Amino acid sequence: MIRVTFVILLVVAAKLLLRLIRYELVLLIRSRFGDQRTATLADMLQSLVRYVVVFIVILSSLSIIGVPTAHLLAGLGIGGFALALGAQNLVRDMISGVSILMENIMAVGDYVIINSSAVRGVVIEMGARVVKLRGDEDELHQIAYSSIANVTNLSAKIPKAEK
């Protein structure tokens, strides 16, 4: 009974930690970037932090319950090669997403056309590995960053060259 209580407390603490991190990330990013990029960066970083916190909570919960996590981690180390091969697309998506974000190609609220009019809509969320668009007919598109070949940002304000 005490172990279950600890697991519940751990999950509640993790939820509070995620909320605190979200708040602190928004403050930190807002102080460095403009408001439009704030939501985009905060969503992406929160998604990344959520993966890490969930992994730690799962390992800690298993340890509290009595499962030998050292053996589990050793097994994960042995299976790490297979995991690395399977995670290639995940890593590729994350790296592509960070480069899209840092180069300010698109942000939350922009109206974009992805891959030469294959998909168009308003960017509603930029996560760790996918961008979500709300299409013209209210459909939801989820596109992995690694599958994005080109982006036409119709919301971007680009100054015209002076003659």
34 vs 97: which has the higher pLDDT: 97
* Bridge partners, 123 (sequence order): 133
Tell whether the model's pLDDT for residue 28 goes beyond 80: no
Q: In the prediction, which pLDDT does 30 show?
A: 66
Q: In the prediction, which pLDDT does 122 show?
A: 94
User: How do residues 135-147 score in pLDDT, each as one tens digit?
Assistant: 999 999 999 888 8
Other Cβ atoms closer than 10 A to 112? 21
Q: In the prediction, which pLDDT does 57 show?
A: 82
CA distance 53 to 50: 5
Q: In the prediction, which pLDDT does 132 show?
A: 93
E strand or H helix at 154 = none
Q: In the prediction, which pLDDT does 32 show?
A: 67
Helices (H), 79-154: 80-86, 88-102
Is residue 46 within 8 A of residue 21, CB to CB? The reply is yes
User: How do residues 61-105 score in pLDDT, each as one tens digit?
Assistant: 888 888 888 887 777 777 777 767 777 877 788 788 778 877 778
Q: In the prediction, which pLDDT does 39 show?
A: 61
Tell whether the model's pLDDT for residue 111 goes beyond 90: yes
The contacts of residue 126 (CB under 8 Å, 6+ apart) are 40, 43, 44, 97, 100, 101, 106, 107, 108, 132
In the chain, the domains with their CATH numbers are 2-86 (no CATH), 102-153 (2.30.30.60)
Report pTM.
0.53
Mean pLDDT of the chain: 79
